[in-house]
Structure 1
């Protein structure tokens, strides 16, 4: 299984589960859903989600995603997975709470560490 990750608000994920598909705000504004590899998730969290609460980290089986996934360069010179379309929620095999600690910093969850070991 090839896993990519996506950070979203808890409420957005709950709504997606009800309607059966997930649309990030970036899908409308940029044409794709931003995702990350396990080695990139802390950089993304620090840059875009600093001090935000009620976040969820989605574990996505990229082989099950119905929309096109493209690995494209970002400003930091790394390739990031982008999902070009709505995300079918059956491709999400795990969702965990993902919030910064009291010091405002994110820590790598054990579930992501385990991904890096496989």
Structure 2
């Protein structure tokens, strides 16, 4: 069963997100396209995702997405340590996005997250 939350999160570059806004949907980053689905994280997984895959990277955004708007294309599958991660087997429609926040980096290279739904 998926975690009990109405939002999931995607970390993207500002460049990727500007392209998505221009197209009206997000097709995913290069790794998403290679894997065949768009990787997301829950609020409790997002910080570790940032540390593992985006450490020290500037110019990132945190996109909050409504789970209910994604339908059956959203699958919850085991990943790190067997935890269930949300994977979208479709493009991300922009109407599913609740908000987009800047994901700044502090002087130690750690991303500073906005308040997120648990």
Normalised by the length of structure 1, the TM-score is: 0.88
Q: Is the 8 A contact 2:11 2:63 kept in 1?
A: yes
Partner residue, 2:57? 52
SS in 1 for 2:82: coil
**Structure 1: 5+ residue stretches without partners:** none
Partner residue, 2:77? 72
Q: How much has 1:31 moved relative to structure 2?
A: 0.5
Partner residue, 2:66? 61
SS in 1 for 2:51: helix
Q: Structure 1 residue 22 and structure 2 residue 26: aligned? A: yes
SS in 2 for 1:76: helix
Any runs of at least 4 consecutive aligned residues in structure 1 with deviations exceeding 3 A, and if so which?
Answer: none
SS in 1 for 2:44: coil
**Structure 2: 5+ residue stretches without partners:** none
Normalised by the length of structure 2, the TM-score is: 0.88
Q: In structure 2, do the counterparts of structure 1 residues 63 and 17 end up closer, same or farther at CA, with 3 Å as the change threshold?
A: same
Q: Structure 1 residue 12 and structure 2 residue 38: aligned? A: no
SS in 1 for 2:18: helix
RMSD: 1.5
